């Protein structure tokens, strides 16, 4: 049987060693308004909040900024935006999670479709998302230490009601965020 716990250890090491340095630089640049393409004649002056979301399955992170009305005013940017050079990855693999980990977990799901494996997969996924979110928050802290900009910023899983306020590190919901800009 596959040791899913070891996959999370491998994921954490991969994120910390391969992705963190790139992501911290890119987060710093975004906060400092570098490499952002604004839409409809908008600019940094129109920015009220920065949003970072990740896709549940592949852990891909995207970024955009919104204005006072909560309307997106920038192009969406995938993070890290630079090509990740990973040995043994397919040329067409475009996910942040390493392909080897993805394939191993998918194979586990296919082989062990019994009730017992649901608990194992739930535990694996809970740990994976917790370590991923903690990793991103650490990268954010390191990046924000290098800037003096204190724009509102939020992090969450894609299309969720709850987000982490990156300035307070507290959970906030979409309605509470909307009230901030009324």
Euclidean distance between CA atoms 73 and 44, whole angstroms: 9
Instruction: Give the percent of the chain with pLDDT over 90.
Output: 74
Q: Tell me: the pLDDT tens digits for 110-164?
A: 776 665 677 888 899 999 999 999 999 999 999 999 998 789 999 999 989 999 9
Phi and psi for 79 in degrees, rounded to 5? -120, 140
Which contiguous run of DSSP H or E holds residue 74? none
Name the most confidently modeled range: 70-79, 84-93, 102-111. 70-79
Classify burial at 129, counting beta carbons within 10 Å of its beta carbon; exposed 0-12, middle 13-18, buried 19 or more.
middle
Question: What is the structure's pLDDT at 127?
Answer: 96
Structural domain including 125 reads 4-180
Sign of CA dihedral 44, 48, 50, 56: negative
Question: What is the structure's pLDDT at 87?
Answer: 53
Q: Pinpoint the alpha helices (H) of 4-161.
A: 4-14, 20-31, 99-111, 115-145
Task: Name the residue with higher pLDDT: 15 or 108.
Answer: 15
* pTM, two decimal places: 0.91
Domain count, the chain: 1
Question: What is the structure's pLDDT at 57?
Answer: 87
């Amino acid at each position: 049987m596959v040791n899913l716990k070891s996959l999370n250890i491998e994921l954490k090491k991969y994120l910390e060693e391969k992705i963190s340095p790139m992501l911290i630089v890119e987060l710093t640049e975004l906060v400092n308004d570098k490499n952002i393409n604004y839409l409809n004649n908008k600019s940094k002056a129109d920015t009220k909040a920065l949003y970072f979301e990740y896709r549940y399955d592949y852990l891909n992170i995207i970024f955009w900024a919104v204005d006072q009305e909560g309307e997106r005013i920038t192009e969406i940017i995938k993070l890290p935006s630079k090509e990740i050079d990973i040995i043994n990855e397919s040329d067409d693999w475009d996910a942040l999670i390493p392909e080897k980990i993805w394939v191993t977990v998918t194979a586990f799901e296919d082989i062990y479709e019994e009730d017992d494996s649901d608990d194992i997969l739930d535990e694996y996924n809970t740990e994976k998302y917790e370590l991923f979110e903690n990793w991103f928050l650490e990268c954010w802290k390191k990046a924000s230490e290098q800037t003096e900009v204190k724009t509102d910023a939020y992090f969450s899983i894609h299309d969720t009601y709850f987000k982490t306020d990156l300035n307070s590190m507290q959970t906030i919901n979409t309605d509470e965020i909307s009230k901030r800009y009324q």
